[in-house]
Structures are given as C-alpha cells and as structure tokens.
Amino acid sequence: MNKRMKFFIKRILIIPFLISVVSCTNSKPNILIILADDAGYSDFGFMGSDEIKTPNLDKLALDGVLFNNAYVSASVCSPSRAGLLTGMYQQSFGHECNLDSDVNNSFDPSQITIAEALKTKGYNTGLIGKWHLGDKKQNHPLNNGFDYFWGFISGARNYFYNPNEESRNSIRNVVENHSKTKFDGYLTDVLGEKAINFINKNHKANSPFFLFLSFNAPHTPMHAKKEVLKKFKDNPRKIYASMMWSMDEAIGSVVDKLKENNQYDNTIIYFLSDNGAAMSNDASPFPFKGWKGNQYEGGIKTPMIMTWKNRIEPETQFDGFISSLDIFKTSLEVSGVDQSLLINADGKNIINSLNDKKVYSEDLFWRKDKMATVRSGDFKLIRLNDTSTVLYNIKNNFYEDLDLKIKQPLVHDSLLKKLSNWEKKLKNPNWIENKNWNIITEMIYEDLMNNKKIRAFSPKDLN
C-alpha cells in the first residue's frame, strides 16, 4: 500500500458529502484562495511525496476535500490566473497566451473579477503576491476589484530584496498599492506576514474578506533560506524542497491566525497550483506525461484542496472533474452575489457537485495558440496545428502514450467536433507568445504525441 493510500485510508471515496445546510452564523464566509506557482503535481505530502515536505498543507487536506481530478484552465501562469479570477475560459476574451511583454499585452479590465463581484456584498478584498496580468494603469489590481495590494506586477522576481534589481526592472518591484516598497528577509515569509496583517485588519473591523494569496514559490529564480537548505541538505532537490517548505510554513501561519481569531470555521479556503511542473525549477510532473506549457496531464492537472469547517465533510476525496474556473461561481453563490454577475461564468458551484449523489462527467477545454485539447468523460483529444490529433482514454491510460484515434474513430470525431464548437465561441488571441518559444512548444508537442525523445526544452536548445 503506497503512502497516499495510507494517508487517506479513513477517507470516504467518491461519495456525496454531508454539507451542513444549517449555518452556525449569519455572517458571509471569508474566502481565501492560496495559489502556488509552477509546483509539481505530486510534490506535496498530501499527494504522497516523501521527498517534498508540506505538513501544514497535509493538515489542511485532512480538514476538507481533496480533488483527484482538478484542472487549471491553462498550462502557463498568466492565462491561468485570468481564468481563475473571472471564472471564464480566458480565451473568450483573448487572454490565451502567456504575457511575453507587459508593455504590449494585458488583462482585459472590462471583465468582472471575483474581487469586483464580492465587493458588491461588502467584502474587503486583497491581493498578496504575484499579479502577472499586465502593467498598464487599467490592469492594476486596485483597478480590478482589489482594495489592497502588496506584491509585484511581473511574473517572477528575486526572493531576497536587491536594490539593484528594483531599479533595473520596475515591474519586478514590490509595491504596496501603487507605492514602491522594500522588505526584509525571505519574500515567501513576508507574503505570509502580509496576509496575516490583512486578515487581522478585517477581523478587527468585523468585515468579511476575500484574499488572493498568490505565492511566486516555487517559480524560478531558485532562492531559499540558508537555514532551510540545511534541513534539506541531503535532498536531491534541496532548493526546490526548501522553497516548498517555506511556502508551507507561511500557509500554516495564515491558517493558525484564522483559528486564533475564530475565523477559520467561517472561511472557505482553496489551495491549488497555477499550472503543472516547470522544467526550470526541479518540480516533478509524476506520475503524468507533460509539464508546464503543454496540455498533457502534467501541464494542466493540479493538486487542489477545499476546506470549509462544519460545511464540508473532512477527510474526503472527490473524483469528479473540477476546474479552477469553478472557484469563481462557488464563491459568489455562497456569498449571495447577484446572479447577473455570474451569467458569463463557465465554471460550476463545487458545493452543488459535492452534494450530488453521482459523479457527473463534463467537458473541459484548453487552447494556447496552435495547441488545443478537450477532455470528455474518460477520453481526451489533443490537437496540433489543425492537422495532428491524438486520442487517449485517461482512465485506462493516464500516461497518455496509447493513441486510440484509429481504433475509436467515432469517439475521436465526436471530441474533435466538441472542440471545434467550443472554439467558435472564442476570440482570436490578443497576442501570441514569443516566436522561438512557439517553435519549441510545437516541437515538444510533436515529440510527446509520437512518444519520442524530447528534442528541445527551451529556445537555448536550438543553438
């Protein structure tokens, strides 16, 4: 019996949850989304890892539901965040590819974010950490529903404060709201501290809050604290393991503060990663094929936890399809937000899914430039350049190396039609990614689809 099976031996598998219909309080629930950045699917204790230690997240997983089939809406950072915050397939408003240059590309500010919607019900809203949705004035978090922002606009930055870096690239600067600021120590620790400050402030004000705690860990650059590195000195992935440990410690501190303030029981907490394992930070996509940037399971499947004390039965797993898009509708419906703000949402209410007596199949879609995918029931179709396709039965072949399109042409054609019909609803991408990266991505897809050795992982491999 493997570690993950032992960890959840007492859990109830794939059956409905008993969600309390009687509220212990009339107050609106606080909502906390915790997002990791480029983490590997199984690189958590609650996912079975012995190498990567995450004791606080393990406790959180035991206190709620672990989703075994959770997906993000994109395999790279920026579009994944755009989908998460709007509850919509981000391709529907052109945010299909990753930001290549913040000067030219940006989030569509006309879209309603979860923060904007929750403000209509009196929530105080905060973003702590990474933004990565553009640096124009209209893209700023404070202009997209957030009352408070402490973090950075770009997709990555150093974990230790470096004055030279701050002056060299302004979008990497740490800012508080609109003002450049400094910090002492290790950034992951500081993000946890800033989240605690936000929680305390709203506790004192007796106000419901929405907090998006958007870690940049374990995204590159690979920086860790010396004292934590000593703890993992014999670990083959010691820097990565140290970064994950520090993120877990910060999350533990935030959860402890909620409990200390008697806010935990009335706070919905979601934890997930923005996309699959990156090849640049030692993250692992095990046991799947693919990684960040492609739509194989290793690039789009995410570990995901949801807790809501006394409302969601603890120590449970759920095997139905869950999307990061579902967080939007779930949070707004339980908070009583007007339905008119949910009409464009592509996700569903997770609470309703947990209460169902059956696990229903649904269709999930992905597209990034020339690569598109549909998952329908047990089957998944991946298409490259409108010409090449592969068909997999994920239930029987989760590693995606047995192409069934010749053996099951009706299933293949049905999924291809579903994908085409979905694409008719989309906008053309507002931008595409760097040309060299597109060349590499196509090469990677060709090799993955043909079960061949990967020829190149980044543009530098073309030289």
Q: Which fold has domain 29-355?
A: Alkaline Phosphatase, subunit A (3.40.720)
Question: 176 has which bridge partners?
Answer: 150, 179
Q: Scanning the structure block, which residue is given the tokens 């109830």?
A: 12
Tell me the one-letter amino acid at 436. Answer: N
Cβ contacts of residue 114 below 8 Å, gap of 6+?
85, 86, 87, 145, 210, 327, 328, 331, 332
pLDDT band at 25 (very low <50, low <70, confident <90, very high): very low
Return the minimum-mean-pLDDT range out of 152-156, 193-197, 213-217: 152-156
Residue 308 contacts residue 327 (beta carbons within 8 Å): no
11 pLDDT higher than 90: no
169 pLDDT higher than 80: no
Q: Which two tokens stand for residue 378?
A: 């047990």
User: So what's the pLDDT on residue 18?
Assistant: 42
Average pLDDT over residues 62-67: 96
User: So what's the pLDDT on residue 16?
Assistant: 42
Q: How far is residue 325 CA from its own chain's centroid?
A: 10
CA nearest 312: which of 257, 264, 251? 264
Query: pTM score, two decimals?
Result: 0.94
Q: Which two tokens stand for residue 85?
A: 């915050």
Q: Where do the CATH 3.40.720.10 domains begin and end in the chain?
A: 29-355
Give the C-alpha separation, 80 to 226, whole Å.
Answer: 32
Give the C-alpha separation, 303 to 183, whole Å.
Answer: 30
Residue 160 contacts residue 223 (beta carbons within 8 Å): yes
274 pLDDT higher than 50: yes
pLDDT digits (tens, 9 = 90+) for 282-337: 999 999 999 999 999 999 999 999 999 989 999 989 999 999 999 999 999 999 99
DSSP 106: -
* Residue 453 three-state SS: coil
Tell me the one-letter amino acid at 309. Answer: K
DSSP string, 270-318: EEEESSS--TTTT---TTSS--TTS-SHHHHB--EEEE-TTTS-SSEEE
Residue 125 contacts residue 382 (beta carbons within 8 Å): no
201 pLDDT higher than 50: yes
Give the C-alpha separation, 348 to 182, whole Å.
Answer: 40
Give the C-alpha separation, 181 to 162, whole Å.
Answer: 12
Q: Which two tokens stand for residue 370?
A: 């020339």
| 32 exposure class (CB count in 10 Å sphere: 0-12, 13-18, 19+) | buried
CA distances from 164 to 26, 167, 182, 210 (A): 50, 5, 12, 34
The DSSP element (H or E) to which 151 belongs, if any, is strand 148-152
Give the C-alpha separation, 124 to 103, whole Å.
Answer: 30
φ, ψ of residue 449 to 5 degrees: the values are -65, -30
Q: Where do the CATH 3.30.1120.10 domains begin and end in the chain?
A: 363-462
Q: Which fold has domain 363-462?
A: Arylsulfatase, C-terminal domain (3.30.1120)
Give the C-alpha separation, 97 to 91, whole Å.
Answer: 9
**CA angle at residue 437 from 435 to 443, to 5 degrees?**
110
DSSP 113: P
Q: Scanning the structure block, which residue is given the tokens 């690039």?
A: 299
Side-chain half-sphere CA neighbours of 398 within 13 A: 9
Give the C-alpha separation, 422 to 73, whole Å.
Answer: 14
Buried b (16+ CB within 10 A) or exposed e, 366-380: bbbbbbbbbbbeebb
Q: Which two tokens stand for residue 421?
A: 């019909």
For the annotated catalytic residues, the residue numbers are 77, 132
Give percent of the chain with pLDDT exceeding 70.
Answer: 92
Q: Which two tokens stand for residue 454?
A: 């990967």
Average pLDDT over residues 268-290: 97
CA nearest 38: which of 85, 74, 87? 74
pLDDT digits (tens, 9 = 90+) for 69-123: 999 999 999 999 999 999 999 999 999 999 865 446 789 999 999 999 999 999 9
20 pLDDT higher than 80: no
User: So what's the pLDDT on residue 357?
Assistant: 53
Task: Work out the widest C-alpha separation in the chain, in whole angstroms.
Answer: 63
Give the C-alpha separation, 332 to 118, whole Å.
Answer: 7
pLDDT digits (tens, 9 = 90+) for 348-374: 999 988 876 556 668 999 999 999 999
